[in-house]
Amino acid sequence: MEPKVYIDGELYPKSEAKISVFDHGLLYGDGVFEGIRIYSGRIFRFKAHIDRLYDSAKSIGLAIPLSRSRMDEAVVDTVRANGFRDAYIRLVVTRGVGDLGLDPKKCKIGSVIIIVDKIQLYPEELYRQGIKVITAATRRVSPDMFSPMAKSLNYLNNILAKMEANQAGCPESLMLNAQGLVAECTADNIFLVKHGELLTPAPEHAILLGVTRAVAMELARSLGINVRELPVTRHDVYLADECFLTGTGAELVPVVALDERLIGNGKPGPLTGKLRKEFSKLRETEGEDLFAG
């Protein structure tokens, strides 16, 4: 059966789910989005994702045409209508239909799109072996121009960095901020383990505040691990004992090399393994099973 896609209050089969070519989401990348996972019928960290969606929209002055509770209902209804217990939700809010000028005033009402579909995952062996990463020449967008904390439909700088990863034959590339400090990867946050502590770039270093990042920090603290947000350089990554990335798509993925320097002994580290285990437990138990009863 074809997945059903929610667009502005109606469900359409995937092949018929279309929006206008005059939508400013298409014409200008004017909109915001979220990527969310469903595990065993449970929407993982639903509230955190919806909070970030409304924050991103507020930041770009976009009025989401649904209240929070109507949005929650629309997502839950779309998940139930599709019946996937393990899937990916792509929630998009665009500025809506306008004319060919970029002025958002011409867009009367935003459009809400909810896609629920199977997710493309990294192959299992990448999790066992860990991934190799290169540093991209493309820098992360700077907060003094546009905040990288808003999850907007403008992903071109990340896409250019992803192309650099592709050229190097790596699944991901590391993006630096305008000052040359480590920010994050193209769709993942980065963590280091050094002398038993967990280290990660701070919010002011031009990162998206990842939902999975917050989960990794919580899990580490619950294991009694000290977590610090601080300025991180490439040197710190090269010399880390362990490194991993966090993201909705990747979950927690070990990184075993940056720019051909092996990290630690070049194998996924023990704390990364422990956190991956704790993450697997959490995602199966937290939240309500939408298909129960």
**Is 248 buried (19+), middle (13-18) or exposed (0-12) by CB count in 10 A?**
buried
Query: In this complex, which beta carbon is closest to ligand PXG, that of residue 82 or of residue 212?
Result: 212
Q: Quick check: 38 binds ligand PXG (CB under 6 A)?
A: no
Q: Quick check: 35 binds ligand PXG (CB under 6 A)?
A: yes
Q: Quick check: 143 binds ligand PXG (CB under 6 A)?
A: no
Residues from 85 through 114 that contact ligand PXG (CB under 6 A): none
- Beta strand residue intervals within 65-152, DSSP E: 87-94, 111-117, 131-135
CA distance 187 to 90: 14
Residue choice 211, 219, 232, 256 for contact with ligand PXG (CB under 6 A): 211
Closest residue to ligand PXG using C-beta atoms: 35
Q: Quick check: 200 binds ligand PXG (CB under 6 A)?
A: no
Say which residue the tokens 């769709």 belong to: 187
CB 214 within 8 A of CB 248: no
- Beta strand residue intervals within 226-268, DSSP E: 227-229, 242-247, 251-258, 261-262
Site string for ligand PXG, 167-186 (x = CB under 6 A): -----------------x--
Expressed in percent and rounded to 5, the helix, strand and coil fractions of the chain are 30, 25, 40
Supply the minimum distance, in Å, between the C-beta of residue 120 and ligand PXG.
Answer: 9
Q: Quick check: 56 binds ligand PXG (CB under 6 A)?
A: no
Q: Quick check: 187 binds ligand PXG (CB under 6 A)?
A: yes
Catalytically annotated residue among 132, 151, 162, 274: 151
Residues from 230 through 269 that contact ligand PXG (CB under 6 A): 246-249
Q: Quick check: 29 binds ligand PXG (CB under 6 A)?
A: no
Within the chain, residue ranges assigned H as helices are 24-28, 46-59, 68-82, 124-129, 156-168, 211-222, 234-238, 270-285
Supply the minimum distance, in Å, between the C-beta of residue 141 and ligand PXG.
Answer: 9
CA distance 234 to 179: 12
Q: Quick check: 138 binds ligand PXG (CB under 6 A)?
A: no
Whether 151 is catalytic is yes
